[in-house]
Structure 1
């Protein structure tokens, strides 16, 4: 758990994309590697799952990959390097030689507790950028343009923050949320 402005939070998922510099035959990979699933009628990419580090990769014919499930940059690096090592000998063609593939973080998801209960009805009524439809989902959605983030807010003060590309933006969004939401703290704080 990390802490910012009195708010404890934990990164629960990082989504990253990379290009392995390989041309891939996804049918052959699914046939030869038990951890790879490929059903092109369902999805155009193959799916590779690892237990350690715990991650799932979407693999595409052009060598691009999307990595989900890692909680740290180090885990992403290890996962993408492991994937390159696994796929390189089976590639149709090597389009770019690399020892250590670069990756770009496209989304970070974190969970947090604001340390106060929230009156979601009043929040939805008073704050413009909030959507709340309790018949469909028990949480309210608060969207920030700056820092770019979307937060799922729950009555018990728990928050899921997504849409940021770095941890500083997550921290800024959580601080801003606490400041904006403080007047709407409910009596049922947990």
Structure 2
């Protein structure tokens, strides 16, 4: 292992959040696709409809049972706004139940975040000395590192760029990246500007 280089705490950017919610309504997807703009529904190919929102920019999978999956948001506030807007748009075409709420709760399933460590990484040394790392440079230029707590997968690139997936909160992304800087300290070289 090389001389340990201090890796500063990386700032990260959320690229995408995947979240799910149950609106507790029954949806008529045919009616929704017919009446609303920006809705695609081809039941022969997929059982759900796709609603595309421009603000916040997101795509939502809609299912007859009122369950939805939201993708494309970059913060939990945007997810809540997308879910609330979807509920407002769908309410006229839905059969409400006793559990229906106008501001449904959502659950973050996955966050994809990017970060730059500001150093170069020795991926060969990382792959041979760090546990839970896969690196096949002939097939893909990045190494894949998996952590158990918080459960996450990280793509590591030679230039110190990172893609983090699998976390379910912004706090977990931060914890993962802090842990990563400790694990990789001995495999970093030359600070990048």
Provide TM-score, normalisation by structure 1.
0.91
- SS of the aligned residue for 1:7 comes to coil
- Count residues in correspondence: 186
From 98, 105, 124, the equivalent of 1:121 is: 124
Mapped pair 1:184 → 2:187: yes
Mind listing any 5+ residue stretches in structure 2 that lack a counterpart? 1-7
Distance change in 2, residues 1:33/1:147 (3 Å) = same
8 Å contact 1:156–1:188 — kept in the other structure? Answer: no
Q: Structure 1 stretches (4+) deviating beyond 3 angstroms?
A: 186-190
From 107, 110, 129, the equivalent of 1:107 is: 110
Structural mapping, 1:17-166, within 5 Å: 17-91=20-94, 93-95=95-97, 96-166=99-169
Mind listing any 5+ residue stretches in structure 1 that lack a counterpart? none
1:83-116 superposed Cα distances (whole Å, 9 cap, x missing partner)? 011011012x212331211111111121111111
Structure 1, 151-160 or 119-128: larger mean CA deviation: 119-128
**Counterpart-to-counterpart distance in 1, 2:66 and 2:81:** 17
**Counterpart-to-counterpart distance in 2, 1:187 and 1:99:** 53
